[in-house]
């Protein structure tokens, strides 16, 4: 019977007046798929894909309830009736799949990330207390402003109800406006909205009352709250719990969605989308604490990536539903596959944060490095059969080659992939061996499995050359031969020990003593090698060709690496370029002043200086056989970049062959 594999996960859940078919929740998360503050066709397609995949509840992304709630240039807005038609499109798209749909109601208060036009807006808060992350000094709200914004929550909820949604969720988590009123360190008012706990809870109470007055009893209302903001200046955990208990006792909520962290600080914000350095399900105990004290359903968040993990949470009674955001971004079909017992086919999230929250922070529509179809559902949501099946040869078993082979085979082509090494996976196999990147290897496993399920023939330990291509006589050849470490031209005197990062990761002997890691890309490779060497007992100096170490990574991942560097006592020297080395010293030049920077007493120089393409076969085939077969290059052999670009190009080519 459907759901027998996970009996708790696929048991229906009553949330106020709404019955949800299973316990899997896609929570509110900004997708950057809006059109001037309104729902776009891209957002409709994105959410429809998750509904078709079997999720029980979708909570649409945070929508500003008031014009002062525009915390980014791409925020979804529900502040006037123009939003209704867009919300209705989403409701009409997900409803036929049996998925319930809630909307998030949001005001950031002082947590304003960016302006609308380049000029800084006036941010609001209970009191004029600044935040640390965005360095915003807000304006203290008058009672008239408070009343206006409270009413706007009710009006926004009514609009979403008119659009056909089943409920709303008030965002009181992560240090946003309702949390700012609750927090005595931020709320320093001396009127009826400040001082005592009851006064500080008044703002949220009035919001919920306004929503109830506008929508009635047939509309679900929930609150998302951080059980602990995990920051000294954050909302105290005991007061967060007290707020949950009070809202439940007053029958103002139908459920509580429990998370961790705060937007107000770097450390606190890392829990908004926790990186792979946090344990699976690490936030569940906080939800369990709330569940012990309230009668309404409790949703638990915090890196619950697989149905097996979700089932354990529910079976233990720690929560009533599980939030599986990135799991559904990575594989929208996960609920259906789990219900059918096909867990080996689920593409597991690796919490790299690169294309999901990383895209959001950069202002681009979210996606997934493993599943670039996410966010591109209108173009790649369905595999279109090839007009004519062809024989396709893929050279290179890294992420680009695997994705291209899988997509081409799914479309009906006869695909053989050649990999010169004993395993497919490319640089991912190195990445997983660095501190803090252990889960990254899941990308190789998932892509490999995707190719095998599609029927790709995978041949390892074979170096493909022009003669092999001639012998195989494919109609199309996809070249994905990757890249190798770059060795820059530097002045070398004597016979210094010089290794590249790949050699260190692969187990090369590193002599005792002080090690310099020269990091040109300022990404995870140089920092990861530096931490690894420090943990082996070396004194390590990380010299970065950027403003800071790991500056190219998404903030929450970057913070984890910076913390690891600090804890490992790695010395970081920023803004330098490698110039030369001798038997005892490494020479750099400051990129701004041109002054020499000399580090002496060195036992070994480790190079993390980027990569160079391995494009010899591509060049040969492009000249010799391009009139006979279709030849296309993808991934690092075109230009060394990241896994994201490699997999995306594999998708593009596999879909176009």
Q: Tell me the CA distances in angstroms from 199 to 127, 193, 247, one per residue in order.
A: 14, 5, 14
Q: How far apart are CA 209 and CA 204, in angstroms?
A: 9
Q: How far apart are CA 416 and CA 531, in angstroms?
A: 39
Identify the bridge partners of residue 223 per DSSP, sorted by sequence position.
170, 256
Asked if residue 436 lies in contact with residue 277, where contact means CB atoms within 8 angstroms, the answer is: yes
Q: How far apart are CA 96 and CA 44, in angstroms?
A: 13
543 three-class SS: strand
Closest CA relative to residue 152, chosen from 79, 51, 218, 74: 79
What is the maximum alpha-carbon separation in the chain?
Answer: 84
285 three-class SS: helix
Q: How far apart are CA 350 and CA 442, in angstroms?
A: 6
> Reduced to 3 DSSP states, what percent helix, strand and coil does the chain have, rounded to the nearest 5?
35, 20, 45
E-only strand ranges, 327-427: 391-395, 414-418
Active site residue 176: yes
Q: How far apart are CA 301 and CA 278, in angstroms?
A: 12
What spatial distance separates the first Cα and last Cα of the chain, rounded to whole Å?
40
**Catalytic annotation, pick one of 46, 87, 153, 176:** 176
Q: How far apart are CA 23 and CA 322, in angstroms?
A: 6
Residue 108: Cβ within 10 Å count: 28
Q: How far apart are CA 198 and CA 208, in angstroms?
A: 15
Q: How far apart are CA 507 and CA 499, in angstroms?
A: 11
Q: Tell me the CA distances in angstroms from 477 to 233, 373, 389, 398, 462, one per residue in order.
A: 58, 23, 14, 15, 16
* 442-454 vs 399-410: helix crossing angle, rounded to 10: 30
DSSP state of 141: P
| Catalytic residue list | 176
């Amino acid at each position: 019977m459907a759901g027998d594999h996970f009996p708790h996960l696929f048991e229906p859940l009553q949330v106020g007046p709404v019955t949800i078919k299973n316990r899997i929740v896609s929570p509110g998360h900004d997708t950057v798929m809006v059109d001037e503050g309104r729902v776009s066709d891209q957002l409709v397609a994105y959410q429809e894909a998750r509904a078709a995949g079997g999720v029980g509840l979708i909570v649409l992304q945070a929508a500003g309830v008031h014009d002062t709630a525009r915390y980014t240039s791409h925020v979804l807005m529900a502040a006037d009736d123009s939003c209704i038609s867009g919300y209705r499109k989403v409701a009409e798209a997900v409803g036929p799949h049996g998925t319930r749909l809630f909307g998030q109601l949001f005001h950031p208060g002082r947590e304003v990330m960016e302006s609308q036009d380049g000029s800084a807006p006036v941010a609001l808060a209970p009191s004029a207390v600044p935040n640390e992350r965005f360095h915003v000094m807000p304006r203290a709200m008058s009672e008239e402003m408070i009343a206006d914004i409270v009413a706007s929550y009710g009006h926004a909820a009514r609009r979403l109800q008119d659009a056909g949604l089943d409920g709303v969720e008030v965002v009181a988590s992560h240090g946003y406006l309702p949390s700012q009123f609750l927090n005595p360190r931020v709320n320093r008012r001396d009127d009826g909205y400040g001082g005592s706990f009851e006064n500080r809870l008044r703002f949220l109470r009035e919001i919920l009352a306004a929503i109830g007055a506008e929508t009635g009893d047939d509309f679900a209302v929930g609150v998302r709250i951080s059980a602990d903001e995990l920051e000294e200046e954050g909302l105290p955990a005991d007061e967060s719990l007290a707020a949950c208990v009070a809202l439940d006792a007053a029958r103002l909520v139908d459920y509580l969605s429990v998370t961790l962290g705060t937007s107000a600080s770097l450390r606190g914000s890392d829990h908004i989308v926790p990186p792979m350095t946090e344990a699976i399900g690490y936030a569940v105990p906080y939800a369990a604490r709330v569940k012990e004290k309230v009668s309404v359903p409790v949703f638990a968040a915090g890196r619950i990536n697989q149905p097996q993990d979700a089932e354990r949470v529910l079976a233990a009674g720690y929560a009533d539903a599980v939030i599986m955001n990135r799991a559904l971004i990575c594989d929208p079909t996960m609920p259906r596959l789990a219900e059918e017992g096909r867990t080996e086919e689920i593409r597991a999230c690796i919490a790299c944060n690169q294309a999901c929250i990383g895209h959001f922070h950069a202002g681009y529509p979210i996606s997934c490095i493993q599943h670039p179809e996410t966010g591109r559902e209108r173009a790649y949501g369905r595999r279109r059969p090839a007009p004519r099946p062809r024989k396709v040869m893929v050279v290179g078993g890294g992420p680009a080659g695997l994705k291209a082979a899988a997509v081409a085979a799914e479309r009906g082509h006869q695909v053989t992939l050649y990999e010169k090494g004993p395993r497919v996976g490319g640089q991912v196999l190195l990445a997983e061996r660095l501190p803090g990147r252990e889960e990254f290897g899941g990308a190789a496993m998932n892509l490999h499995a995707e190719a095998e399920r599609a029927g790709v023939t995978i041949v390892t330990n074979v170096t493909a050359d022009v003669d092999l291509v001639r012998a195989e006589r494919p109609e199309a050849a996809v070249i994905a031969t990757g890249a190798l470490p770059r060795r820059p031209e530097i002045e070398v005197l004597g016979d210094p020990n010089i290794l590249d990062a790949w050699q260190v990761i692969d187990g090369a002997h590193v002599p005792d003593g002080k090690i310099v890691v020269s990091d040109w890309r300022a990404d995870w490779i140089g920092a990861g090698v530096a931490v690894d060497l420090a943990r082996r007992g070396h004194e390590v100096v990380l010299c970065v060709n950027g403003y800071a170490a790991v500056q190219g990574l998404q903030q929450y991942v970057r913070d984890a690496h910076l913390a690891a560097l600090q804890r490992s006592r790695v010395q970081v020297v920023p803004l330098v370029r490698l110039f030369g080395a001798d038997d005892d010293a490494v020479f750099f030049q400051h990129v701004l002043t041109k002054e020499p920077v000399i580090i002496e007493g060195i036992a070994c120089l480790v190079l993390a200086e980027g990569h160079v393409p391995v494009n010899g076969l591509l060049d040969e085939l492009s000249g010799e056989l391009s009139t006979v077969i279709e030849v296309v290059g993808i991934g690092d052999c075109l230009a060394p970049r990241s896994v994201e670009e490699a997999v995306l190009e594999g998708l593009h080519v596999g879909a176009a062959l």
